[in-house]
Amino acid sequence: MKLTVSHPSHIREGVTINKIMWSKIAILLVLSLFSAVVFGPKALVVVVVSVLAAVGTEAGIQKLTKQELTIKDGDAALIGLVMALLLPPTIALWIPVVGAFFAVALVKHAFGGLGSTLFNPAIAAWVFMNMSWGTLTGSESVPHIGEYTDLFIEYGSGRLAEVSAIVLVIGGLYLIYKKYIDWRIPTLYLITTIVMALLIGEELSYVITGMLFLGVFILAPDPTTSPITKKGRFIYGILCGILTVVYGYLTYDYVVAVLYTVFFANAVAPFIEKNTFPKPVNEVST
Amino acid sequence: MTTEEVKKETPKKKKESGKQVVIPLLQHIGITCKPLVKVKEEVLVGQKIGENTDGLCASVHSSIAGHVVAIEERLHPLCGKISSIVIESDETNRAIEYSPYNNPTKEDIINAVQEAGIVDLTGYPLYDMLTTYNRIDTVLINLTFPGDVSSNCTSENIPKIIKGMKLLMKGSGALDGAFIIHKYNRSLSSKMKSELHDENIEILTVKDDYPPVMANLLAYEITGIPVPNTQTPVDAGVILSSASGALAVTRAVNEGIPHIETNVTVSGAVRNPGTRRVNIGTSFKEVIQLSGGYSGEPGKIIMNGSLNGTAQPNDEVPVIKSTTEIIVQSTNEVLRESPGPCIHCARCVDVCPVNILPGRIASFSDMGMYDECFKLHVSSCIECGQCNYVCPSNRHIIQLIKFAKAELVKLLTIPDEEATPSPGCQTCENPCLLGAPFISGGIA
């Protein structure tokens, strides 16, 4: 009889990185299908190319550096998928390939791979693409939630992620219910954005787009790039809301506002974290 | 109750006793007992065989009648190897004359608890809780630890638990008492309510399970007095015991029987899981055989809870006073995943009952940066195992935290060549709730 001796705990809850990543991918795939309804099959081509480029880059890097292949955990696929959703369907197909390479190679693996990224790779790659080829990555249309059906499917959207707010809301609530993402950041981000927009008299129909919900439920609560302290996550959510409205108010573009918000908030997340370390309940007085 | 009645009762219980028992001389937090018997000496049921009056100690008693085979180091379920008294049964079950108290005074109760060597689930001797210099205001009995509840809170035991509570209140001079029950354990609270007829004793409900390692936090939750890691609830004027402790007190005072038996729930990969009343010192193997033996190949044997219990090196280890639960995992239930990178999801931060950053500390410990662990209050960790349970990346958070604590003790101890090694082994440091390693290590 051979017995295993190990430290506690001897059981695990069963939530794994794979489950978290693949649930997010499943939600975003549903969103991609909605975008195919709006934009036609061209949208799906962008998604497929982007995902393949991201996964291929990760596999190539890990083969070259002789690391263990981790494409099964879904992180690379998620990066490619999110990045594709930030682009317009009319994009030239070489741009997502370059973007995916930038995201996976330079933003993810150069900083140490999964769990060590400073910025959300998909957003960093979007910022890179937007700065390099601004005219090619710009959208032709701005979403406007004129009627309630626009929340379900928005035909006036310019980027893939904007097509359906409701898919992202249902998906996000599912993620929170399963405790795959934390509730603090999404709740505070959404509330702060709406309250701020109402305070300065913005029309909510331009603010509450699909992209805002992508930011609220997928981009901002990304575990690696958001603070880990409880207080820090409150502040992070509020900061995201403020930045979104400020950027949107000044540029009249609430879609791009979400993306730059998360990018800037990522940059200050470590500072928020450092200043909100909790005090232990049973602290040993020294 | 007269002595004859007690003697009549004993054979019924003793039929589950094994041929040989191993009684460790350290079954509590404190110093090791000195043996009072010699090899080949005859012992009776309930005879005191180990005692130490030099400090924090709970005496140990023989749980069977027979003769001493050996006094040597044997495996202990919590502390590696501990000197133990091995007794071989002569199948007679002759017991010493028990001296019960009919109308116990405060001194009688304290005396009985001391003589019986009662140890609570936290490992703290109850006698030292009763005779503290602090004024005791409240007696709390924690009925939220699943292992303890399933073993001890049967309908027939509930009146005895209530009696034990009253005895503890009288013995300590406390005016208030409370049973703490989990919010969703409605059947237990209704049973308790129907049996409880005392104005001074309340039933309080809490939202979480509080295993023995979280005693300080439970005292804080109920009384609002924060209890630092280096103290026990007694320092806040609270005696916090368990169903197992209360039952032992009732038996010690009303029947005069020392702490020689305990209720153990066996669960997991055994043929006939359930609760058994066993003698202290019975090996886990015999207890599992009483439960029908293993079903399939066992992979891991755990004492006291899957979340923060201790995995056993083999099934020869004895049942000790604080054993309430034996969990057998089959080979395919044993966790074998290799850990992945930390993705900073903060799930561990959300569940941490002491409000520290377990994942971050574990990462620093992994990199050998123990000073950073110290800055992040690694010493506050009570090792409840919840961060390890929720980690999506299968990281060995508790192991890394324990390692950091041990390394910090090495770093911060000033080597003293003349110092004699402390009595007992040092491996109790890991399950120690009182932060003892930090006292001996010189941090506090």
Mean pLDDT computed over every residue of chain A: 92
What's the Rg (C-alpha) of chain B?
22
pLDDT tens figures, B45-91? 999 999 888 778 889 999 999 989 999 999 999 888 889 999 998 88
CA angle B65, B69, B74 (to 5 degrees): 105
Interface test with A, best of B76, B213, B343, B363 (most A CBs within 10 A): B343
B 279-298 residues inside an 8 A Cβ radius of A: 297-298
The answer to whether residue B131 scores a pLDDT higher than 70 is yes
Phi, psi at B83, each rounded to 5°: -65, 135
What gap in Å lies between CA B132 and CA A51, rounded to an integer?
67
Least reliable range by pLDDT among A169-173, A201-205, A236-240: A201-205
Q: Across the strands, what pairs with B181?
A: B143, B205
User: What's the confidence (pLDDT) of residue B415?
Assistant: 66
pLDDT tens figures, B417-444? 655 555 444 555 555 555 444 444 333 3
Q: Which residues of A touch B379 (CB under 8 A)?
A: 284
Number of Cα atoms under 13 Å in the Cβ half of residue A45: 12
User: What's the confidence (pLDDT) of residue A169?
Assistant: 95
Q: Is B320 left (phi over 0), alpha (psi -120 to 50) or beta?
A: beta
CA-to-CA dists, residue A54 to A49, A75, A79, A120, B227, angstroms: 9, 9, 7, 14, 51
User: Given B334, B380, B396, which is nearest A7 (Cβ)?
Assistant: B396
Confidence of residue A187 (pLDDT cuts 50, 70, 90): very high
Please judge whether B380 and A280 are an interchain contact, meaning their C-beta atoms are less than 8 angstroms apart. Answer: yes
User: What's the confidence (pLDDT) of residue B12?
Assistant: 42
Local structure of B100: helix, strand or coil: coil
Tokens 């004027």: give the residue. Answer: B237
pLDDT tens figures, A259-277? 999 999 999 999 999 999 9
Residue A273, min C-alpha distance to chain B (Å): 11
What gap in Å lies between CA B282 and CA B160, rounded to an integer?
24
Q: Please give, one letter per residue, the 3-state secondary structure of A224-269.
A: CCCCCCHHHHHHHHHHHHHHHHHHHHHHCCHHHHHHHHHHHHHHHH
User: What's the confidence (pLDDT) of residue B442?
Assistant: 38
User: What's the confidence (pLDDT) of residue A65?
Assistant: 92
Please judge whether B353 and A17 are an interchain contact, meaning their C-beta atoms are less than 8 angstroms apart. Answer: no
Helices (H), A7-147: 17-39, 42-64, 75-85, 94-101, 121-132, 134-137
The answer to whether residue A161 scores a pLDDT higher than 60 is yes
* A-to-B residue pairs, Cβ atoms closer than 8 angstroms: 168
ipTM for this prediction: 0.90
Local structure of B267: helix, strand or coil: strand
The verdict on B438 touching A (C-beta cutoff 8 Å) is yes
The answer to whether residue A66 scores a pLDDT higher than 90 is yes
Name, of A54-58, B196-200, B381-385, the range with top average pLDDT.
Answer: A54-58
Confidence of residue B416 (pLDDT cuts 50, 70, 90): low
Question: Hey, which bits of B269-324 come out as E strands?
Answer: 274-279, 298-303, 310-311
> Who has greater pLDDT, A145 or A231?
A231
